[in-house]
Each structure stands twice: as C-alpha cells, then as structure tokens.
C-alpha cells in the first residue's frame, strides 16, 4: 500500500498509485457501510475537528459520519458563531484549535490556498474539504471510485465535464485526477465559464454540448457557482438550460451506457433535468454520496496511519 501524504490538500500532490490505494481501501469501507453495525477502530482515541467556513451539506455530513464510524471523537465547529465573526484570523483560529491537540483537521474555506497555509501552522493532518476555486480532493476521489465501480476501470475513458468550469474546484480536482489516470477529458461550456488558459490544460474544449458529448463514457455536470461570480456570466438561467442543461435528448449523443454525475447541490432545471437526475439507470448521483463516506473514511484512515508512524519515529528519536 502506497500513501505517503501527511495532509490531503489536493489531488495535485498525489501519485497515481496513491490514488489507487485510497480507492482500494475505500472499497472495504463501502462494504462496512452496508452492514448494520458500521464500526471500525482506525481512528479510535483520535480527535477530528471539522471547520467549515462555507456552506456544506454532503461534505460536512460525510466527514462527520466517516470520523464517527472509524471511532474518532468528532467536533463540528460552528464557524458562524466562532470568534472568526469577531475578526480572529484563520491562522489564529487554527493555532487555538491546534493547542487542543486534534489529530485530524477538516477545513473548507472560500479562499483558494487558505487550507494549504493552515496546514503549515499545525501539527495534525489537514484535509482540504474545498478551498475557493482551487481543489476539492475528496470529491475527485469519490467521483473516481463511483466511475470505477460503474465502468470497471478508471483509465482510458472519455469524460465530459460540463458547465461552470471556471469557478469549480470540483472540476479542477477531477481534471487533475482523471488526467493522472490517463483518461480523455472534454470540457464543455460557454466561453465565459471556461478558465483562462483552458487550451493549455491538455483537454478538448467544446462550446456545443451535443458535439462535446458525442461518444462520452461519463458526463459530469456542475452547478453554476453564483456565489463566486461577480456580474453576468450567462444571459439567463432559461437560456443556459436550453444550451447547456443536461436532458435525455442531449444525453443521447453520449454512449448508450454513459453515466451521469453531479457533485450536488443540484439546480434542477438549470444545469440538469430533474427526471434525468433521478433516473437510476443513468444517474449515479446517489452513488456519489454513498462513495463520499467510504472515500473520506479511507483518506482519514491513511492519514492517521502516517501520523502515528511519524509520531512513533519522533518518540523513538527523543528516547535515543
Ligand atoms: C461542491 C463544492 O462545494 O465544491 N459540492 C460538494 O462538495 N458536494 C460543488 C458545488 O458547491 O457546486
């Protein structure tokens, strides 16, 4: 088993064999999560603190559940009531929490790079639960596990990532992961929602949805990240749905067995047709949520092993 990382800050830092290690271990946790008694002791005695400076439903709930199923003491900081409101900086908050000796810190923050910065200031393992438009590594890993289970592999697939790519950390982490695993990636969306320098990313770029979806194995839809937009990026939601909303008619251009994904939260009737999102023959959106818990268990388990090993080495060093 190869997994060297001390923190999980981004897919950028992971080697393909480390990604495979996470997915393989997550498979074991998928199985555990389907039992009536869902208890393991990989994090027994450890303390996990979740700090979410941005709204979250799936990610926060699944990190909490993942920690509890692995036996950790889990604390959710209510950031809207914390001293951050009184002007305390992210780093001061982190240092305060660090003094309470957590072992795992799960952080979501609206500023790209904030989680990396924080990781340099604390002694525990830090997991990035999404920082600005930068990375959302556990989302890309859970997407990879969902794809691997549906398609039987995570290589040599044609994957379309559609919609608001410019503002999406989900798109960015997926792009990096799918690229590392040697897939063909297509980015589909209006030019206003494409990141700058998109032509240098090594993907195919399409403005036309039907053209871009042709022969795809996987269709990944994204939410319009309105909270990260200042000004008009799209003419209207109605017009956007007409051109870029995924419905059965557009999906028919992809392969017959293509799967539909969405990280949630979904805007039904804006980026995806509600009926298609619920169609269990095409949509794996609920599987993504299920894989989310297992993948987060695997990530925290692997980081905890490395943390224990590091502390063991430090203790041995002190004794000699
Ligand atoms: C995503 C996020 O927060 O980046 N959601 C999630 O983690 N499931 C995507 C989004 O907010 O659109």
108 is catalytic: yes
The pLDDT score that the predictor gives to residue 312 is: 93
User: According to the model, what pLDDT value does residue 120 have?
Assistant: 93
pLDDT at 91: 85
Which phi and psi angles does 9 have, rounded to 5°? -100, -30
pTM of the model: 0.96
Which residue among 111, 265, 284 has the greatest number of ligand 1 atoms within 8 angstroms of its CB, and so is best to mutate?
Answer: 265
* Residue 96 falls in the annotated catalytic set: no
Q: Name the strands in the sheet holding 204-206, side by side, starting at the edge strand that comes first in the sequence.
A: 204-206, 184-188, 158-162, 218-221, 259-261
Can you tell me which atom of ligand 1 is nearest the CA of 169? 4
C-alpha to C-alpha distance for 13 and 195, rounded to whole angstroms: 21
How far is 65 from 43, CA to CA, in rounded Å?
A: 12
How far apart CA 241 and CA 254 sit, in angstroms, is 18
Q: β-pairing, 184-188 with 125-131?
A: unpaired
Cα angle 182-265-254, degrees, rounded to a multiple of 5: 45
The answer to whether the beta carbons of residues 188 and 206 sit under 8 Å apart is yes
What's the rounded Cα separation, in Å, for the pair 191 and 17? 34
Query: What is the CA(141)–ligand 1 centre distance, in A?
Result: 13
Residues 6+ apart with CB under 8 A from 200: none
Q: Report how far ligand 1's centroid is from the alpha carbon of 131 (Å).
A: 10
Protein residue closest via CA to atom 11 of ligand 1: 265
The tokens of 210 are what?
């039907």
Tokens representing 10 are 């981004």
Return the residue matching tokens 């946790």: 29
Helix/strand number for the chain, H first, E second: 11, 9
pLDDT (0 to 100) of residue 319: 64
- Residue 85 confidence (pLDDT): 66
Strand duo 184-188 + 47-52: pairing: unpaired
Query: What are the CA-CA distances from residue 50 to residues 74, 86, 94, 141, 283 (Å)?
Result: 8, 20, 11, 19, 30
Taking CA atoms, 234 is separated from 137, 163, 239, in Å, by 28, 11, 8
- Residue 91 CA to ligand 1 centre (angstroms): 24
The number of beta carbons lying within 10 Å of the beta carbon of residue 233 is 18
pLDDT tens per residue across all 320 residues of the chain:
799 999 999 999 999 999 999 999 999 999 999 999 999 999 999 999 999 999 899 999 999 999 999 999 999 987 776 776 666 788 888 888 899 999 999 999 999 999 999 999 999 999 999 999 999 999 999 999 999 999 999 999 999 999 999 999 999 999 999 999 999 999 999 999 999 888 888 899 999 999 999 999 999 999 998 888 877 788 889 999 999 999 999 999 999 999 999 999 999 999 999 999 999 999 999 999 999 999 999 999 999 999 999 999 999 987 65
Cα(158)–Cα(253) distance, integer angstroms: 13
> 6, 28, 38, 58: which one is catalytic?
58
For 125, the enclosing helix (H) or strand (E) is strand 125-131
| Collapsed DSSP state (helix, strand, coil) of residue 50 | strand
At residue 228, the pLDDT reads: 83
Residues with Cβ < 8 Å from 308, sequence gap 6 or more? none
Task: Respond yes or no on whether the N-terminal peptide bond of residue 197 is cis (omega within 30° of 0).
Answer: no
Q: How far is CA 307 from CA 74, 124, 178, in A?
A: 17, 8, 28
Q: Which residue's alpha carbon is at the smallest distance from atom 7 of ligand 1?
A: 59
Residue 292 and residue 266 in contact, taking contact as beta carbons nearer than 8 Å: no
């Amino acid at each position: 088993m190869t997994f060297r990382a001390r923190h999980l800050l981004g897919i950028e830092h992971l080697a393909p064999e480390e990604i495979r290690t996470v997915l393989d271990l997550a498979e074991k946790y998928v199985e555990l999560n389907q039992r009536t008694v869902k208890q393991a002791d990989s994090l027994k005695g450890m303390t996990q603190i979740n700090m979410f400076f941005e709204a979250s439903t799936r990610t926060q709930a699944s990190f909490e559940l993942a920690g509890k199923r692995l036996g950790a003491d889990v604390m959710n900081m209510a950031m809207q009531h914390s001293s951050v409101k009184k002007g305390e900086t992210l780093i001061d908050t982190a240092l305060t929490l660090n003094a309470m000796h957590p072992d795992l810190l799960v952080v979501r923050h609206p500023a790209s790079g904030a989680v990396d910065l924080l990781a340099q200031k604390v002694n525990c393992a830090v997991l990035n639960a999404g920082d600005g438009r930068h990375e959302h590594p556990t989302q890309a890993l859970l997407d990879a596990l969902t794809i691997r289970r549906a398609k039987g592999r995570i290589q040599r697939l044609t994957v379309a990532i559609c919609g608001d790519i410019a503002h999406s950390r989900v798109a960015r982490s997926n792009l990096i992961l799918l690229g590392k695993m040697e897939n063909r990636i297509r980015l589909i969306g209006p030019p206003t929602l494409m990141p700058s320098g998109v032509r240098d990313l090594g993907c195919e770029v399409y403005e036309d949805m039907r053209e871009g979806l042709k022969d795809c194995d996987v269709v990944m839809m994204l939410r319009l990240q309105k909270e990260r937009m200042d000004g008009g990026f799209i003419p209207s939601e109605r017009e956007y749905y007409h051109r870029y909303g995924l419905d059965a008619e557009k999906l028919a251009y992809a392969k017959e067995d293509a799967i539909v994904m969405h990280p949630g939260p979904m805007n039904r009737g804006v980026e995806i047709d509600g009926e298609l999102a619920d169609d269990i023959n095409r949509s794996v959106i609920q599987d993504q949520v299920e894989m989310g818990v297992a993948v987060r268990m695997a990530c925290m388990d692997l980081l905890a092993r490395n943390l224990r090993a590091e502390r063991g080495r430090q203790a041995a060093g002190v004794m000699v």
